[in-house]
Amino acid sequence: MKTDLLNMTQRKVLITGTAGFIGFHLAKLLLAEGFIVHGFDGMTDYYDVSLKQRRHQMLLQNQNFAATEGMLEDQALFDRVADDFSPDVIVHLAAQAGVRYSLENPRAYLDANVIGTFNVMEAARRLGVQHLLMASTSSVYGANTEMPFIETEKADTQLTIYAATKKANESMAHAYAHIYDLPTTMFRFFTVYGPWGRPDLALYKFVDAILDGRPIDIYNHGDMYRDFTYVEDLVRAIRLLIDAVPERPEDGVVPEGDSLSPAAPYRVVNIGNSDKVRLLDFVDEIENCLGQKAKRNYMGMQTGDVPATWANAGLLKTLTGYRPQTDFRDGIAKFVDWYREYSGK
């Protein structure tokens, strides 16, 4: 009996972006649960590569983890890795990230997020994986104003090339799910934060600057609202969604409130905390945790930015029985503890 259980749990998952913030945390969780994980990461220098290397080094302590460094645009390499590993499931998290950088270097987003994602989808199709899961973003809601954002609403008004490439991914994935019967789940992440976070994200930048006595830039004069989602909650949700495999609905009838496609085994799921937090309250709590006041540089709204995001995570709860719930104050405290240790500040 034991060996049967072992075979059941020893599922193989190929994760792209394992040296990245979310990919690292997901790999760590899946390894702890007994999965065999192969990581694929481009180790690009969009931010400090040594942080990415540290994450991979930690994962490599586990004998069930191996990784390949390479770019997703290199289809021959990715195909070879995917064929050799022969995964049951693919989770595609690698991307050129960052809303603001997409204003400066839009082409990088087409290469990584459109071409790279197409190569992942092709491998998933060829290998006939049980489930393909891919990251989208809350940014696809763009100019939508009705909140909380829900998956069944239209999302046709993207405001940045970053968001547009992610919306393109959703459409491409739907087509493949329809044509090849490839079960696919897209998740729309809302502002993710936590230990081992990205240096270009607000929490890391704010803590780093406050401890150094540098001013912090606060956009829209702090009148911004975000659905801050703690990274460990987020990856727990992804882990549970791996088992929520979408099925093409019979007769095209979709249950109320489900984003399941009437024409494909395809679904979009929000992963957020279902809570909107004012940016100024977030900054106040960082000051509170650090015991230090920030030098605040209030600025106008940035191009392509939105004043608020807020997830309805009801579908996630229906599908998995779970929803993220870490209070932002607890999450900030955990990040600050990690950051002080990591940076020695």
Q: 3-state SS of 103-134? A: HHCHHHHHHHHHHHHHHHHHHHHHHCCCEEEE
pTM of the model: 0.94
Choosing from 162, 204, 225, 339, which is the catalytic residue?
162
* 27 in Cβ contact with 39 (< 8 Å): yes
Question: Do 120 and 111 touch, CB atoms closer than 8 A?
Answer: no
Q: Which two tokens stand for residue 157?
A: 């008004």
Query: CA dist 44 to 21, 41, 94, 180, 204, Å?
Result: 13, 8, 11, 32, 19
Residue 66 phi, psi dihedral angles, 5° rounding: -140, 160
Q: Which domains does the chain have, with CATH numbers?
A: 2-191+231-272+312-325 (3.40.50.720)
Reference 183, options 89, 303, 282, 98; nearest CA is 89
**The two three-digit tokens of residue 281, written as one number:** 């309250």
Closest CA to 92 of 5, 10, 161, 189: 189
Tokens of 40: 């694929």
Alpha-carbon span 13 to 31, nearest angstrom: 10
- Contact status, residue 38 vs residue 81, Cβ threshold 8 Å: yes
Give me the tens of pLDDT residue by residue for the chain, a chain 345 residues long: 334 444 555 899 999 999 999 999 999 999 999 999 999 999 998 889 999 999 999 999 999 999 999 999 999 999 999 999 999 999 999 987 766 777 888 888 898 899 999 999 999 999 999 999 999 999 999 999 999 999 999 999 999 999 999 999 999 999 999 999 999 999 999 999 999 999 988 899 999 999 999 999 999 998 899 999 999 999 999 999 999 999 999 888 999 999 999 999 999 999 999 888 999 999 999 999 999 999 999 999 887 778 888 899 999 999 999 999 899 999 999 999 999 999 998
Sign of the dihedral through C-alpha 324, 330, 334, 335: positive
Residues in the chain: 345
150-168 burial code (b ≥16 CB/10 A, e <16): bbeeebeebbbbbbbbbbb
Contacts of 104 (CB under 8 A, 6+ apart): none
Has 162 been annotated as catalytic?
Answer: yes
For CA atoms 234, 239, 241, 242, the dihedral sign is positive
